[in-house]
């Protein structure tokens, strides 16, 4: 069977590997983490209220002394007058995605002031902070596809199981640490890869700096590319992943280290190759491609590719000059 509805892809950092599991009894062969207990109803770590002429909501992640604004969940604000206090709540269940534990979906609840700018502040590594960062990844993915006009493929709800006993995709996306944004987005990438029928899933042990099967390199490399696509600035010359594979972190997207296995059966190089078609930073002369996201998505969608080689051939046939594609290929897969 081709797609992850019958597979489990487990990703661990030391070493990173994926395992294909075709039945639940095979879980007994794996070393998984203990489940954490988290309340189903969570609230912001703290609130900041600023007087305003309107009732507004903004959401922030607090990391040390820094505040980073993220997507605000779509709370329904009741009729609000003067400086009344109101309780707002939201179940984290949308038609396209949800966050749950078992068969129960998480809920956010907080108290706001009318005619104030209400800042919902979440401590970075708190349970509520992890949950809001997972939700931010899901909103980022949805907004990405809405912005490029390619949301129609997303017909089946993607459930995030958190906190789970590992970071993997099997029917649901399973996540251990919600504040590890690149791991969350990578695992979500597997669900997108599956639903959009981009390619075949590979299985077996793998390290990010080694070579293995064509299918595994494509499915893992594409998932990391997707994580960067929705969360990393395409003009950043130092684009990198923060938490993916700690022994090699930060994982540079633009420049693959020379000690990484050469060729199209390495996932890191697959990620870098695909990134070169959408990013705005040319690390060498003549590398700049800047393919529109909608156009490259059309090449991905329903491709059912077995390898990055097949995907690359379709890129040349449909949207990328063959000479440019060959140049980018050599730069990423064969250059020492």
Is the distance from CB of 205 to CB of 183 less than 8 angstroms? no
- pLDDT confidence band for 31 (50 / 70 / 90): low
The residue with greater pLDDT, 18 or 162, is: 162
Band (81; pLDDT cuts 50, 70, 90): confident
Average confidence (pLDDT) over 254-277: 96
pLDDT of residue 171: 85
pLDDT, mean over the chain: 89
Predicted local distance difference test score (pLDDT) of residue 288 = 64
Report the pLDDT value the prediction gives residue 3, as an integer from 0 to 100. Answer: 42
pLDDT computed for residue 83 by the predictor? 74
**pLDDT reading at 86 higher than 70:** yes
Domain boundaries, the chain: 4-19+199-334, 41-133
pLDDT recorded at residue 11: 43
pLDDT at 56: 95
| Cβ atoms of residues 183 and 190 within 8 Å | no
Instruction: Assess whether pLDDT exceeds 50 at residue 187.
Output: yes
- Long-range CB pairs of 294-301 (<8 Å, 24+ gap) are 294/148, 294/149, 294/150, 295/319, 297/148, 297/150, 298/150, 300/196, 300/198, 300/222, 301/150, 301/153, 301/196, 301/197, 301/198
pLDDT value, residue 286: 56
Q: What is the 3-state secondary structure (H, E, C) of the chain?
A: CCCHHHCCEECCCCCCCECCCCCHHHHHHCCCCCCCCCCCEECCCEEEEEECCCCEEEEEEEECCEEEEECCCCCCCCCCCCCCEEEEEEECECCCEEEEECCEECEEEEEEECCEEEEEEEECCCHHHHHHHHHHHHHHHHHHHHHCCCCCCCCCCEEEECCCCCCEEECEEECCCCCCHHHHHHHHHHHHHHHCCCECCCCECCCCCCCCCHHHHHHHHHHHHHHHHHHCCCCCCCCEECCCCHHHCCEECCCCCCCCCCCCCCHHHHHHHHHCCCCCCCCCCCCCCCCCHHHHHHHHCCCCECCHHHHHHHHHHHCCCHHHHHHHHHHHHHCC
Q: Give the residue-averaged pLDDT of 23-39.
A: 72
Q: What is the mean pLDDT of residues 172-195?
A: 95
Q: What is the pTM of this model?
A: 0.92
Band the pLDDT of 6: cuts 50, 70, 90: very low
Q: What count of Cα atoms within 13 Å lies in the side-chain half-sphere of residue 257?
A: 11
């Amino acid at each position: 069977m081709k797609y992850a509805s019958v597979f489990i892809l487990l990703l661990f950092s030391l070493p990173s590997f994926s395992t294909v599991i075709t039945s639940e009894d095979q879980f007994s062969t794996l070393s998984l983490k203990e489940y954490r207990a988290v309340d189903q109803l969570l609230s912001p770590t703290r609130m900041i209220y600023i007087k305003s002429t309107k009732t507004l909501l903004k959401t922030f992640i607090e990391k040390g002394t820094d505040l980073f604004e993220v997507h605000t969940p779509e709370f329904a604000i009741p009729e609000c007058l003067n400086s009344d206090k109101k309780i707002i709540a939201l179940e984290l269940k949308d038609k396209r995605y949800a966050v749950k534990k078992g068969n129960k979906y998480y809920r956010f609840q907080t108290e706001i002031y009318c005619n104030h700018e209400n800042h919902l502040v979440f401590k970075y590594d708190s349970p509520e902070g992890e949950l809001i960062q997972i939700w931010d990844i899901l909103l980022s993915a949805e907004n990405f596809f809405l912005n490029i006009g390619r949301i129609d493929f997303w017909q089946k709800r993607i459930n995030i199981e958190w906190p789970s006993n590992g970071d993997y995709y099997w029917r649901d996306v399973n996540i251990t640490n919600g504040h590890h944004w690149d791991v969350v987005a990578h695992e979500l990438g597997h669900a997108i890869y599956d639903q959009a029928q981009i390619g075949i899933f590979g299985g077996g042990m793998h390290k990010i700096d080694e070579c293995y099967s064509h299918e595994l390199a494509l499915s893992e490399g594409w998932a990391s590319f997707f994580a960067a696509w929705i969360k990393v600035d395409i003009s950043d010359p130092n684009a990198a992943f923060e938490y993916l594979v700690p022994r090699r972190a930060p994982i540079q997207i633009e420049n693959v280290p020379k000690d990484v296995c050469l060729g199209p059966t390495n996932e890191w190089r697959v990620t870098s190759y695909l990134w070169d078609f959408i990013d705005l930073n040319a690390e060498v002369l003549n590398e700049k491609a800047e393919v529109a996201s909608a156009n490259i998505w059309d090449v991905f969608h329903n491709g059912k590719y077995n390898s990055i080689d097949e995907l690359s051939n379709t890129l040349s046939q449909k949207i990328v000059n063959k000479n440019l594609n060959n140049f980018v290929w050599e730069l990423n897969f064969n250059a020492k």
